[in-house]
Amino acid sequence: MENSTALRTWLDDFKLDHPLVIAGPCSAETEQQVLKIAHELKDSDVSIYRAGIWKPRTRPGGFEGVGAIGLKWLQKAKAETGLLMATEVANATHVKLALEHDIDVLWIGARTTVNPFAVQEIADALAGTDKIVLVKNPVNPDLALWLGGVERLYNAGIKKLGVIHRGFSTYEKTKYRNIPEWQLVIELQNKFPDLPLICDPSHITGKRDMIQEVSQQALDLNYDGLIIETHTDPDNAWSDAAQQVTPTTLKHIFEALRVRKETGQDDGYNRKMAALRVNIDEFDKKIIDALGKRMKVSEQIGQVKKEFNVAVLQNKRWNEILDKMKAEGKEQGLNEEFIINIFKAIHQESITHQEKVINK
């Protein structure tokens, strides 16, 4: 994406002194519900009202959205509150209907982002419009696929672009509905620092009581905005009830959040940070040195396994190591998920080194 600095223009047009906030129900349920929530949000920090009209469900039989009739409700909410309107689109027909009803912001969902054919269809249908288009990360942590979706839209002449980080699916049980994989998003920021980045703590957490925590983490990482599912009666919502908050709770979340400065200009800050970063650099070097030495031992283990014709993978030994490291990590105040991820990577690298020795 050449001249990517232009991507930030639409965000600057809001002239906000706080991060962009998109809020509203997971699903539009009734006209009354849509209007009631919109009116409760109109005098808050919310700039864009969101509501799902078409809801992709993992399995058939669940509530799949009210369909095109909901677009008329959004039009009415816009006329009454002045809020911009946003909804998810998954194909060219959705785009056509959304444009006919003057929806301001369209987002592409995680299940659609994984399909380049669908994204291209949407890009072609949007060509020539000036709508804001946001691309959610794909279900699995694939940065190239995510950026590919953005590039397809950019190549179709759509310049008001941004991305939504909603977390990634995992077969493992964690405290998140979708694990954040913050490092992958940091890599995206490094590649395209001018691409507006919005966090979706509702889908990352799946739990309303974790939304403030994850929102703060996003702001600490210089995200440009938040998209938070909001409902006047979340416990009785027709979809994703557990992750929606009331407008009052949303207000309390805003009050508790702290927006950090991107950099510090104070000399005292710079001196302290410089000293601490020297320490960090030293520790990082020691970690790399230790890992290199560990892999040398792994190669020696591979040689012994080759000599005695023993399989590389030893599940019992691996589980013993993992249990021991989780216990030691806990003593050091380290998150168990963090320890698991680190030692899975170390174990995989160790297997790779052993296989090279055995297959010589």
> Considering Cα of 8, then 12, then 13, then 16, what sign does the dihedral take?
positive
The pLDDT mean for the chain works out to 93
DSSP structure class, residue 4: G
The burial class, CB within 10 Å (0-12 / 13-18 / 19+), for 236 is: exposed
| Global pTM value | 0.82
How much of the chain is helix, strand and coil, in % rounded to 5? 55, 10, 35
CA distance 331 to 328: 5
Structure confidence by residue, pLDDT tens digits, 258-302: 987 766 677 788 888 888 888 899 899 999 999 999 999 999 999
What is the phi/psi pair of residue 26, to 5°?
-55, -45
Q: Is 264 left (phi over 0), alpha (psi -120 to 50) or beta?
A: beta
DSSP structure class, residue 203: H
**Three-state SS at 13:** coil
Residue that the structure tokens 């699903």 belong to: 27
- Sort strands 161-165 and 105-108 into parallel, antiparallel or unpaired: unpaired
Structure confidence by residue, pLDDT tens digits, 159-197: 999 999 999 998 878 899 999 999 899 999 888 989 999
Distances (CA, A) of 15 to 10, 18, 133, 262: 10, 9, 19, 18
Is 321 a residue whose pLDDT tops 70? yes
274: number of Cβ within 10 Å: 9
**Three-state SS at 165:** strand
Domains of the chain: 4-256 (3.20.20.70), 267-358 (1.20.59.10)
Contact 146, 127 (CB under 8 A): no
Structure confidence by residue, pLDDT tens digits, 10-23: 999 999 989 999 99
How large is the C-alpha radius of gyration of the chain? Answer: 24
| CB half-sphere exposure, 138, CA atoms < 13 A | 18
DSSP structure class, residue 311: -
242: number of Cβ within 10 Å: 14
Contact 168, 179 (CB under 8 A): yes
* Helical (H) or strand (E) element with 12: helix 9-12
Structure confidence by residue, pLDDT tens digits, 66-94: 999 999 999 999 999 999 999 999 999 99
What is the phi/psi pair of residue 31, to 5°?
-60, -45
326: number of Cβ within 10 Å: 15
CA distance 230 to 301: 55
